[in-house]
Homo-oligomer: A and B are copies of this chain.
Amino acid sequence: MPLLVVGSTAFDSIETPYGKEVDCLGGSAVYCSLAASLFTEPRLVSVVGKDFPKASRDLLATKKVRLEGLEEAAGKTFRWSGRYSADMNSRETLSVELNTFGDFRPKIPKQFNDSAFVFLANGSPETQASALEQVSDPTFVVADTMDLWIETKKDALLDLLRVVDGVILNDQEIKMLTGENNLIRAGRKALSIGPKLVILKKGEHGCFLFSNFFHHALPAYPTEHVVDPTGAGDSFAGGFMGFLAECDSLSIWNLKRAIAYGTVTASITVEGFGVRAIAEATRERVERRYQELIQFIAM
């Protein structure tokens, strides 16, 4: 099945201990779509400015990302710049220019209304909800969010979490959302808000998958060459959702495999600046790395 992805398209200027690159193609929906494209057809719904180059559009099209929902508005494309710490476990935002993304009102093209699998990348909960309302009868909807929305739009976020199937959070976000420091208790509390699945990303420490029926832990792929962590979370979401959309099955076994595929696509993304590594990845490379991950955790 195809995967509807709603979120940002951006140009990022990134500084890490491995170098500095300016105006790399990025944005949550782009990372997610590129990772998902390894498994299924991503339907991108996003907005760019008049400055969005044909080369970036072509890159996405080459990866079979459907672009009918990529709106081109007057003004410039969203721009972000940031700098990572020496151990790359934290980053500082140097500048944000929302540009056209500041007024993003997602319009789901008619031919995408029937999407069964939907990923609402990070955005204001109202924007996420308005996108979701335009999908007629989705099977599986997962939302991402961030500290800003937990702080400033908590009620709208809680409303959204009651209608989606799953939420993806990192450890800081889940602590902030639930007020629990213990991650297992935080997972249970997040489930009690409403979503059937809570996916907790812990970066280099792997992830947890919580449901009311089972809890599952998966270590991260043992990456030795992290060049640029930007987009790791969105690539995780893309691998996770893309694999499930490909399977068109939400069995416990497939959910566990899906977070392993998400782990793999995230591990590929961080090995290059911007989207370079994930855009160059092949399904064969994904499968090889998936087997390596399974070996790494096998008892």
Contacts and interface: CB of A to CB of B under 8 A. Distances in A.
The winner among A86, A217, A224, A226 for most chain B CB atoms within 10 A is A217
A297 interface: yes
Contacts of A219: 206, 217-219
Contacts of A284: none
A299 B260 contact: yes
Interface string A272-299: 0000000000000000000000111111
Interface residues of A, number: 33
B216 A296 contact: yes
Taking the full assembly, how many copies of this chain does it contain? 2
Contact of A222 (B204, B217, B224, B253): B217
Interface stretch (A57-65, A182-190, A236-244): A182-190
Contacts of A253: 299
A87 interface: yes
Nearest to A183: B204
A185 B214 CA distance: 33
Given A215-B296, A217-B297, A86 B256 contact: no
A91 interface: no
Contacts of A182: 223-224, 226
Contacts of A296: 215-217
B87 A181 contact: yes
A202 B206 CA distance: 12
Interface in A69-108: 86-88
A153 interface: no
Nearest to A205: B205
Nearest to A293: B217
Contacts of A206: 205-206, 217, 219
Nearest to A220: B217
Contacts of A205: 202, 205-206
A257 B299 contact: yes
A171 to B, nearest CB: 10
A256 B299 contact: yes
A38 to B, nearest CB: 20
For A88, A181, A206, A215, the residue with the greatest tally of chain B CB atoms inside 10 Å of its CB is A181
Given A206-B205, A217-B206, A222 B299 contact: no
A184 B225 CA distance: 10
Closest 7 pairs (CB-CB, A-B): A217-B219, A205-B205, A87-B181, A184-B222, A184-B224, A185-B224, A256-B299
28 contacts: A86-B181, A87-B181, A88-B181, A182-B224, A182-B226, A183-B204, A184-B222, A184-B223, A184-B224, A185-B224, A202-B205, A206-B206, A206-B217, A206-B219, A215-B222, A215-B296, A216-B297, A217-B219, A217-B220, A217-B297, A218-B219, A218-B297, A219-B219, A253-B299, A257-B299, A260-B299, A297-B297, A297-B299
